Amino acid sequence: MGRFRLFSLYVSVLFLLTAFRAVVSGDRAGDSQIVSDRASLVSFMSGIVSDPRNALQSWNSSDVHVCNWTGVTCNSARSAIVTLDLSGRSLGGTISPAIAGLSKLIIFDLSRNFFEGRIPPEIGSLVELQQLSLPWNLLEGTIPSELGSLRKLVYIDLGINKLSGDIPEEMFCNGSSVLEYVDLSNNTLTGKIPLRDGCELGALNYLLLWSNRLVGPVPPALANSTRLKWLDLESNMLSGELPAGIVHKMPRLQYLYLSYNNFVSHDGNTNLGPFFSALANSSNLQELELGANKIGGEIPANIGNLPRTLRQFHLAENLIHGSIPPQISNLINLTLLNLSSNFLNGTIPTELCRLQGLERVYLSNNSLSGEIPSALGDLPHLGLLDLSRNKLSGLIPDSFANISQLRRLFLYKNQLSGMIPPSLAKCVNLEILDLSHNRLSGTIPDEVAGMRSLKIYLNLSSNYLHGALPLELSKMDMVLAIDLSSNNLSGTIPSQLGSCIALEFLNLSGNMLEGPLPFSIGQLPYLRALDVSSNHLIGAIPQSLQASPTLKQLNFSFNGFYGNVSDDGAFAALTEDSFLGNSGLCGSIKGMKACKKRRHYHLIIVPILLSLVVTPIFCVFGYPLTLRSKIRQKLASFSKSDMVVEEKQESKEHRYPKISYRQLMEATGGFNPSSLIGSGQFGHVYKGVLQDNTRIAVKVLDSKTAGEIPGSFKRECQILKRTRHRNLIRIITICSRPDFKALVLPLMSNGSLERHLYPSHKLDQGLDLVQLVSICSDVAEAVAYLHHYSPVRVVHCDLKPSNILLDDDMTALVTDFGISRLVKGDDEDVPPYDLASFCSTDGLLCGSVGYIAPEYGMGRRASTQGDVYSFGVLLLEIVTGVRPTDVLFDGCSSLHEWVKSHYPHNLDPIVQPALSRCSTSSMSEYLRKACCEVIVELIELGLMCTQYAPSTRPSMMDMAHEMSTLKQYLSDSSSQEMEATSSKR
């Protein structure tokens, strides 16, 4: 801290000298107001303790007029500062009360930085202030009541901080009527919404209070905000009746989010009608979320009177009963309908099938009965249909084959009967098919068994299926899990299942399968769990299973297996519970009977006769053999001890080399700013050279900021130590002291992907399309490894261009695991397709602005789907050349929405600029077409990954496969282009 104080004193002296010169020279900057403003800025700077990008370098120059300082804007006369915008500059420190000296300030924006401490109440003296933006920082404490003095304030955003306490009433009830935008979301604010009778916020357009701890009802005074467009009160503890009387007076309302509270309906929680009637006036309503409350009653017929502009409707996880009214068909623009986890009964109305724009339908976990309407097959855009956990009966409609966009089909835990329609194979985009726990009969159709589109899982368990396992199952080379358990399947297990190379979970238990277990099953490279219990299998258990490096869960119980089973390899952690009911098995598994040595009892005369013959022979030949055997045993013991010594020596060699703090100081020139090559939320990265000329990058963790995430240093060390992949950064060593923690990594000569996407000099050549696709493929492989194959399953949480480094060969390496999360282990009861995760750093939003998955903003924990979203943003960023944080989206809220608005009929404004990244300027029409196809494919993949609902996104294994395919296609096209060019010569 002494350095910072000395620096501040130096700046102050420099300012006084500069001001004195200005007065002497008669410069207009000598006017009293601008001189005062400059002094206030200098004092404000004293609170900034971290400026990794040197954003405020101009503030230190006596030759630069204060109106030309970074982030500073003056009025037209250059007599006063009216704007201070330092957003997104990675500044750290506290907000100095000296800011109050800028008496003419209109805009004050410190968003997306690392400011901590309290909001100074002195801001309340900035009477001209119209915009106050402090979101995405580390601010804590209460909101100062003095902010209520800002009568001209139009826009206030304090979201995504650590603010606590009650919202001061003065903010909303200060006699001002100009406030249009209020965002206090994602803090830990408590108490009621402070809007008493008589308070008028007539100009209010946006009120965002989601993810706090607010209680009580929605205040009636909010009805005075008749211009409100966006009301988000989600994820609080609000209660009372749904605010019908309030929203009735909001004709401009577009987005209403009330989910995850304790609201009830009218008339003693029995009547939703008044609330829906009140919303009929909101003619522009687009999204209505009422999920996870305590709302009771039936869905009233006047749901059909809701505005036809409604696109998303959530009513899941409530106490709704009764049937789905046919009037719902009036919501002709609906794309998402979620009525899951209620008490709905009756049939699925065929009128629902008139909603031609439906993309996602969730009706699961209710008591719906009757047949599935075949008209659902007429919904051209349907991508997800979840009818699971109901009482549906009858056949699975053949018409599902018409839904070309269908990706997820969940029909499990119903009473469906009949055969599995072979026509399902026509759903060429289907990734998940779950028909388990029904009454389906017949054989597994070859067409369905050969669906190569299935990339996540196939579940046909707990039905009445019979017949042999189709050989066509071997065509599912991308599926992660197959569950055919609890059926009546017979015949042998085909060895061709070894072709399902992506398979992680295979469950064939509870059938009548016979014959031996194929050796090829144990050779599946990623198999984690295998269950073949309760069948009629025979023979020895293949050694390939024991040698598998990935298998963790095995069950061979209640079969006819025999032979010796050792506790080596994949069997080391197993007990007898995995081998019950196999009387022919023995071995060293814990609890298993030991194998007996065979002993033969003969007549006495036989050994006597044998001894008469054998003894002379032994005297001639046996003793030398015995002696030789003893010598071999002695040599073997020496060899074994030597091997132990070698193993110990090898273990020592794999320990990290010791590098002292002094050596790191020398290598980086005392962590000189000239050695700084990057900065982030949790520290700085310096380049350096060790005494043996090894070029290194030293990541020094900031003790204060890293402290916000307990164990981040230890977590990053553990992840880097235990993961091995060609596209993950490796660790050289660490340096850890109580006051200093650093990671020592190899220096990547080509820097980060961000540096190449946004070169500092216009003359710098960017990456061509082939290189970009190759880099994306590398990143996808790395993240897929972290999600699916690593010894410790990892969610990266901060995937972005600056965390992707490029080596000498332009191979991409993913780095920065400081805020990563670990996925649940195998010992927990988690379905193979449910990658739920736990978070050791609850309370902090994971990742960087623009790349964070939307569900994280709603309090969801980190998951692999969050990384998929970040990867999707990365793809869209690479294609468009636009940062996701840039406000260039023509009214769209995100890069995803902006790209989606152009897809699929207006892609030229995106594709044409991206084409310039192809390597050759005079490319043929063939190569140009190939590049166009790849660019469009990247756009489609990016949009898939950035879908709002996590369950609809592909896995990173899917993305690794897709990117590898694109990389190969582009490489082949380039090769053909070169061959064609050379042949012409």
Name the residue ranges covered by the structural domains of the chain: 448-587, 654-747, 754-979
Q: Give 789: exposed, middle or buried? Use CB within 10 Å, 0-12, 13-18, 19+.
A: middle
Model pLDDT for residues 206-238, shown as the tens digit of each residue: 999 998 999 999 999 999 999 999 999 999 999
* Mean per-residue pLDDT, 390-410: 93
- Architecture of the domain spanning 754-979: Orthogonal Bundle (1.10)
Known active-site residue 477:
no
Residues 916, 914: Cα–Cα separation, whole Å = 5
Domain 448-587 class?
Answer: alpha beta
Residue type, 154: V
Task: Give the pLDDT band (50/70/90) at residue 371.
Answer: very high
Q: Considering only CA atoms, which of 104, 156, 96, 155 is closest in space to residue 125?
A: 104
What pLDDT does 52 receive? 77
- What pLDDT, on a 0 to 100 scale, did the predictor assign at position 306? 95
Looking at per-residue pLDDT, the higher value among 431 and 262 belongs to 262
pLDDT value at position 609?
46
CB-based contact 266:241 (threshold 8 Å)? yes
For a pLDDT cut of 70, what percent of the chain falls above it?
Answer: 80
As given in the structure block, the two tokens for residue 225 are 């905000």
pLDDT, residue 648, reads: 33
What pTM does this model have?
Answer: 0.64
The whole-angstrom separation of Cα 463 and Cα 114 is 56
Residue 400 pLDDT level (bands cut at 50, 70, 90): very high
* DSSP 3-state percent helix, strand, coil across the chain (nearest 5): 35, 20, 45
Calculate the CA dihedral of residues 355, 361, 367, 373 and round it to 10 degrees.
Answer: 50
Tokens coding 224: 């005075």
pLDDT at 696: 83
Give residue-wise pLDDT tens across range 570-590.
898 888 899 999 989 998 888
Annotated binding site for ATP: 699
- The whole-number pLDDT of residue 817 equals 61
259-268 burial, b if ≥16 CB within 10 A, otherwise e?
Answer: bbbebbbeee
Omega prior to 904 cis, within 30 of 0: yes
Amino acid at residue number 165: G
Give the distance from CA 647 to its chain's centroid. 40
Distance CA 174, CA 124 (A): 12
Q: Which residue has the higher pLDDT, 625 or 140?
A: 140
Residue type, 214: L
CA angle (971, 973, 975) in 5-degree steps: 70
Task: Please tell me whether residue 96 adopts helix, strand or coil conformation.
Answer: coil
| Ordered alpha helix ranges (H), 26-114 | 32-45
Stated as kind and residue range, the H or E segment containing 545 is helix 543-546
User: Structure tokens of 791?
Assistant: 């010894």
State the average pLDDT for the chain: 81
Annotated binding-site positions: 699
Specify the range with the lowest mean pLDDT, choosing from 158-162, 341-345, 465-469, 850-854.
Answer: 850-854
Catalytic member of 37, 778, 798, 816: 798
**pLDDT at site 30:** 43
Confidence of residue 858 (pLDDT cuts 50, 70, 90): low
Q: Who has greater pLDDT, 306 or 502?
A: 306
At 868-884, the pLDDT tens digits run 999 999 999 998 888 88
Amino acid at 465: L
pLDDT digits (tens, 9 = 90+) for 288-312: 999 999 999 999 999 999 999 999 9
- The token duo for 815 is 């780095």
Quote the CA–CA distance of 112 and 121 in Å, as a whole number: 21
pLDDT of residue 614: 45
pLDDT digits (tens, 9 = 90+) for 342-366: 999 999 999 999 999 999 999 999 9
Query: Do residues 403 and 426 make contact, with C-beta atoms less than 8 angstroms apart?
Result: no
CATH architecture assigned to 654-747: 2-Layer Sandwich (3.30)
**Strand ranges in 761-837 using DSSP code E only, listed in sequence order:** 794-795, 804-806, 812-814, 821-822
Q: At what angle do helices 908-915 and 864-880 cross, to 10 degrees?
A: 70
pLDDT for res 189? 96
pLDDT at 919: 52
pLDDT in tens, 951-979: 778 888 888 888 888 888 888 777 666 66
